[in-house]
A and B are shown apart, each in its own frame.
Chain A
């Protein structure tokens, strides 16, 4: 009996020990630490590269980015077809520091899975810049070590993220290369606008020669990386913004929001920077305007945020009434944008000699009208768009449809003659050569007493590519314009060349025309079809609101001001 008892006890004890002492992992085997990411033994830099590529992930795809709409639907170029949209709040000024639409709150919108605000991007770039030196990455391109190229890419991205913050909020804290921790003093004050601009510009200058250049030595691995051209384009754009009336003003007294004095040399700096990129002779206008947004490795494209192939853009923005596709038609371009396109001969429709026919308003227009906007009668999917009242694409049956009588055409595949939407490349173009020409023209026009041939040349290149008739050689531009006349022309050219590219929203601010264009009702068209006789009536569709100077910048998010006693709120918010 005694033995029996002990046997059981010993047996139990053994089971206990076996279970208790079995070797089990104490930590997830797939866990990755910083030592693994920046591994001093990894001469291929495999994980460091993965980390760098994720910084690119912070770049935003502008396609239907803001609550499902293009940011341009918050400008005078378009309105949203849907109700209750974040872009409409932006257009009507119904937002404040507590409810800045989350997609435009690039300051503090919290990370959901893999969507990052720009402060995250800056942190990641800093962590990369600080840690990449320990990784013994082999290889070099054009005499620059791969490790240094990568570091420069991170610095470029960081500079770009700062610019995205500054153009929305004014001066922001500059972190340098510091990777902060939770216990550090994070009550950082905002740097002045001037300091932010010079930081970004200096970074671009410092790194531009260490980035890869076009044509790429190894396009298979390097295509779509930040290039020297990208850094130069960023610099040109930042300098152009800094020289613009909003920031380059002697009436401004708040150093967070701009310079406090006017300095004409800022225009010169901007023009020089753009000229330098033009002089590289690396990039050129694509003869086909539509191809720029469709085609990979386009000669005009300088820097993109890559996006998978698909038909997302068509589904979100395509005209309603093509039943097999359930397109939502969410972007409704305004009559104002349509009217800003000249005629094929390059003359504005307001010009009595332009040949504009109010009863046939889309006939014989700048081809870019049709490249960017779908209007009644535009060929599409083997048929023609019918946006007259009750037409197939404006059925008035209660479902969402265009509110202006127009749909966005841009970014969609060449689908005028196809039967259905086909997958295509949906990359988001951040910098393209056409913008550099416009940057140059705008800055150079302010430098010269009267616009010279170089300004004209930049514009005529764009108009020629667009397909405007050469006419007497100026593609419809009046010869011998004054600086002020030319300024108007350049601003219009920027609008019609680059709609829906997240330019107009900021352009109307830096040119300080937002108080004018965003305080008058935005218009659409209603077309009545009486047995094929079309009559056009222009109706208001949205009353936007712009309060100056408050709305030139966004408010710093409410919580951020509470959390940081040194965080100065923007005036008026």
Chain B
């Protein structure tokens, strides 16, 4: 039958247009990327009364009566389309519109629309990010949500989730800036969020101001990320299958100098050091050595190994598969899904000598979700959501394989050959590697692995009772949610570090066993432990009220009781505070939300919470957090509409309120003093180890939550025909006070640790927003949006003792502001002569020299060393000469530009994301000579010959000189950075219905890419621009992913 229809369709399509009559019937389908859209409205242009809606299979039939030959297709949350119909069948592909008038934003315990919203909310439809090839939902949000700031500092499979913040950071209390995460109205942890499969998600919102976060009260001050999951819709079972596979590669691949160039630089550094030494050393590499490294004729005596390429693959694969089934009847609706993700790491396979152990990084995850909605009777709705996530994370136990590649003391190109001529492992046989470690390939092959298996469960049971018998519009809801997480880590470790490795002497063809080696591989030990077990029980009871009186007076209300108890049992290695373990952390509160609007024109909302936690002493546990907000839809005023008919929406809104943060650093029980078991002390004739007790940090019985006053002023506009252009703009100003910080002005004579005290105060202000534009040129649909976020904070008070010099003051700067020296240039020979003359005249001290200052570390300054500014003019460079340099590591500006074009079934979507105004510095193995392998930039180190265009200070073996960024952080080393990324690219072809084989109802193939191209502006470091500052650059580099997928619907 189907084939016959198809045949007729083809025939009909091929019929000439001239056959068309004035009145003709056309059929069609309406789809989005997930498949058919039931319930979309289709009307004929010019004849608004001639319309229909798509059926449960997304199909429609309409008889055109007018002359326009054009239909208009509309669906809430999608861009309206006008299509000229030439045939009798048409497939309509709808794209989502995040700025439409009816677009629903999910807020706490409810929904709002673009028209009625009075707070600062940003929402995206998860369908837009579902195909982004990354494991973590938070990695997909940068540049898409105004006010969302994130940093992805690792690309390691399973550990690549971004840190994220809403409207930047406000708290001095490190760890006190994490947004609250709410999934289906239940609080999730960071870890739980990163386990969620994006395929299960319907929408993602961030709540940014007091009016939207006040109902979370004591937990709302850092903003809230709200996720809702997909639910079944009435209709026939809809099955979606999506399978994709991709290649991951480093966003930047570090290159290191070869053996010859490295040896040259070693000699260069030694020559430099000898020039001031009382005890000059012979150079490590003779001219003969250099020649052998250069011509490679002695590959075992003078090896030259490119370790990076020997250890790492250029590409690693990842695969992702998702299957979901949804549908329902009036009584039962269901959404059931399963997903499997497998990400491989980039370490090559080194055959384990015993063939037992997987030495690579990998991450696999299986997610299952069943969301059921049951209509028990006319007034009672039940809901049961069950979800589990199983993950498996593997890493080599020779951990930091990524970092060791940089480490000069373990791997250099001349350290050792990759393998000896007889195939045995070599060990580091170089004066720079006294520990004689076996080569990295040997250690990876025999070093064992660490494997973490984690299981998350979430169950939510929900009952909604309509109480129309009391009054119309009233419902009561009871909800119980249970979640639990368990993680078990197993370690396969060699029982002894000694493995067989040999030094091959190419002169006499002999092998010498590593002095720390053994002739046989040691057996493995298997160790395992439960790292973490958590459970959480959350009970919510609430009443909802929503009723309109007299057609115009619309009232809404919510009264919520919320109680939560979560317990963590953790291995002490993970959570250092033993008091956190095993005792439930409790939270309880009542929230009230009241809304009124008159005819959608004047909008008022009042949100508040009275809630508290047991982190604080009885009597200090509960706080009250109110917020008010109002909106004015000016375009609903006749005069405005007459003056500016171009506006489909013109709304101003504002909110003001107080929210809190209950995160207290360190001891969970800041309010009580406790005594802790200390190290044992040996006593008695036989020196028995006796137990001891000591007084832990003092208590602060008055400790309370941090508070934040939040002001938000917003503007929402839709304009032009069909609301083609939409604008949202928010200005905000927050003051965070009573911040929990450790007092800094208490003298050490007190003799004991200090508790957190409500002392700190900061302000944070900025703006964020979004401009959206969509249009159609011919049959091509264009949709674009530009997202911008700016948030800058300032420390107002942090109990800082009066600094000796004003340049040292941290108050007044941003949180995390780096301090360091200011680079003036390289010391010249003339500078050194000046210093010598001054010291000779002043008893060997340079103190007071106004001309050239010298670091006070006792090192002799040489030409080519970094010269820093002597801010206090005392002739000495020391901590007093530091000042604020650069910006904090977290960008204060982030931009996103999303462009989409669709032509029939073909669509292209790109997201450019940029972060600006941030700084970072890399130290140690990341950049310092003789700690890091030699990097190309070191070829441009200062020498008398290239003094004019040096890009790197004089090379030295001494790790503590003024040239070290570890000991002398400065703006020479600090990179003021920005980056712009082609964050995602997606090209999709949706097959026309006519081409679908079997019984498929939809099918598409797509290419999606992540981190495809990066533009940045520094060349000092071979690091991804999102690298965490002050690290030694050993993070697993962020990955670029090129991914190919197919999806099919039945």
Contacts and interface: CB of A to CB of B under 8 A. Distances in A.
A272 interface: no
6 closest Cβ contacts across the A-B interface? A398-B431, A123-B751, A399-B434, A84-B960, A323-B515, A562-B801
Contacts of B804: 558, 562
A9 to B, nearest CB: 7
A450 to B, nearest CB: 39
Contacts of B435: 326
Given A54-B693, A107-B748, A98 B879 contact: yes
B537 interface: yes
Contacts of B747: 186-188, 560, 563-564, 567
Interface string B509-523: 000000110000000
A563 B745 contact: yes
Select the residue from A120, A219, A400 with max chain B CB neighbours within 10 A: A120
Interface string A2-40: 001100110011011001100011111011111011000
Interface stretch (B319-327, B604-612, B666-674, B981-989): B666-674
Contact of B687 (A122, A306, A545): A306
Given A8-B380, A182-B750, A545 B844 contact: yes
13 contacts: A1-B377, A5-B376, A8-B463, A26-B614, A33-B675, A57-B681, A57-B694, A121-B751, A181-B698, A182-B746, A187-B747, A397-B431, A563-B745
B600 interface: no
A536 interface: no
A175 B804 CA distance: 27
Contact of B673 (A33, A98, A180): A33
B776 to A, nearest CB: 50
Nearest to B580: A28
A32 B537 contact: no
A306 B745 contact: no
Nearest to A545: B844
A31 B579 contact: yes
Interface in B746-801: 746-755, 757, 801
Interface in B587-616: 614
B675 A37 contact: yes
Given A28-B582, A28-B583, A122 B278 contact: no
A84 B478 contact: no
Contacts of A13: 478
A interface: dominant SS: loop
A93 B581 CA distance: 47
B480 interface: yes
A504 B334 CA distance: 82
A56 interface: yes
Interface residues of A, number: 100
Interface string A299-337: 000000011100000000000000110100000000000
Interface stretch (A221-229, A260-268, A340-348, A429-437): A221-229
Given A9-B478, A50-B693, A27 B669 contact: yes
Interface of B: 278-279, 281, 284, 376-377, 379-380, 382, 430-432, 434-435, 461, 463, 465, 478, 480, 515-516, 537, 539, 541, 563, 565, 578-579, 581-584, 586, 614, 669, 672-679, 681-687, 690-695, 698, 700, 743-755, 757, 801-804, 844-845, 856-858, 878-880, 958-960
A31 B380 CA distance: 47
Contact of A306 (B565, B681, B748, B960): B681
Contact of B675 (A24, A36, A557, A559): A36
Contacts of B958: 83-84
Contact of A124 (B539, B694, B749, B753): B694
Interface in A196-244: 219-225
Contacts of B686: 220
Contacts of B516: 323-324, 326
Nearest to B967: A84
Contacts of B539: 16, 19-20
A444 B857 CA distance: 42
B844 A114 contact: no
A297 to B, nearest CB: 7
A59 to B, nearest CB: 9
B678 A108 contact: no
Contacts of B801: 559, 562-563
A16 B578 CA distance: 30
Interface in A266-312: 296-297, 306-308
A104 interface: no
A560 B431 CA distance: 44
Nearest to B959: A84
A124 B751 contact: yes
A532 to B, nearest CB: 23
A571 interface: no
Contacts of A12: 461, 463, 478, 480
Given A57-B679, A186-B750, A26 B515 contact: no
B749 A173 contact: yes
Given A27-B583, A27-B669, A124-B751, A9 B746 contact: no
A541 B278 contact: yes
Given A124-B695, A559-B801, A180 B750 contact: yes
A164 interface: no
A307 B958 CA distance: 34
A540 B280 CA distance: 12
Given A9-B465, A175-B749, A398-B431, A34 B673 contact: yes
A98 B749 CA distance: 17
A96 B878 contact: yes
A354 interface: no
